[in-house]
Amino acid sequence: MNRTKESEAILGNLVSAVNRLQDCPEFATLIPEVRVNLVFARPDARTPREVAAVEGRITVVEGRPHAPGMPAWGASDHLARRVIEMRKYDAEINAALNFKCDPAIINVVQEYCAEHGLLFGWLDRADEPPEVMEKDGASMPWKVKRLVTKYGAVPRLFYEAANWGKEPLFLALGQDAVAVAAMAVEIARRYQEKTRK
């Protein structure tokens, strides 16, 4: 696949993924305070400019998930760098999505992972050494290496516990944006079902 076709395929996949999220009103309950980003990296991505993401992040409008902008290259920094780092350990990971984390969501995600044979994980941000926190750009490699060391692989679904000034968040990882959106939609529907009971 040439570069132009690859770019079009990635952006098209992101649009499909965003539509899935917007068509799922239950997903609004999983949108955290920092809102949701969804990224899809080129297979050879080295910088955030080679990662496409939703401009403006996905938020809630009138109780439904809403993407204010279209997918664009370089629209994410933090999550884009996370995917690039993850790919050093697992070349199948090209896409990621963040969502809310609380004890009830943790239970739903654990059940989902058990049913689908997916590795579940969590990371305690409080374990991050001060020298890593203070050094610009050192936090991301530390977090990813810590996860891989702890679980022997990159978990497809994991959360980072709350820390000073940081809300707890889940990350869903997969081969493409539609795959991670499908995971999030199923988790959102299960979560909604549980909270209705």
DSSP 32-45: -TT-B-EEEE-TT-
Question: Whole-angstrom Cα distance, residue 170 to residue 144?
Answer: 14
Question: Whole-angstrom Cα distance, residue 21 to residue 178?
Answer: 9
Average pLDDT over residues 79-108: 96
**pLDDT band for position 197 (50/70/90)?**
low
The pLDDT assigned to 165 comes to: 58
Q: How confident is the model over 144-191, as pLDDT tens digits?
A: 999 999 999 999 999 998 665 578 999 999 999 999 999 999 999 999
Domain ranges of the chain: 3-196
The pLDDT assigned to 164 comes to: 57
Q: What is the pTM assigned to this prediction?
A: 0.93
Average pLDDT, the chain: 93
**pLDDT band for position 22 (50/70/90)?**
very high
Question: Whole-angstrom Cα distance, residue 146 to residue 28?
Answer: 30
The pLDDT assigned to 62 comes to: 94
148-167 as b/e: b if 16+ CB within 10 A: beeeeebbbbbbbeeeeeee
Q: Domain 3-196, what fold?
A: L-fuculose-1-phosphate Aldolase (3.40.225)
Q: How confident is the model over 118-146, as pLDDT tens digits?
A: 999 999 877 888 887 777 767 888 999 99
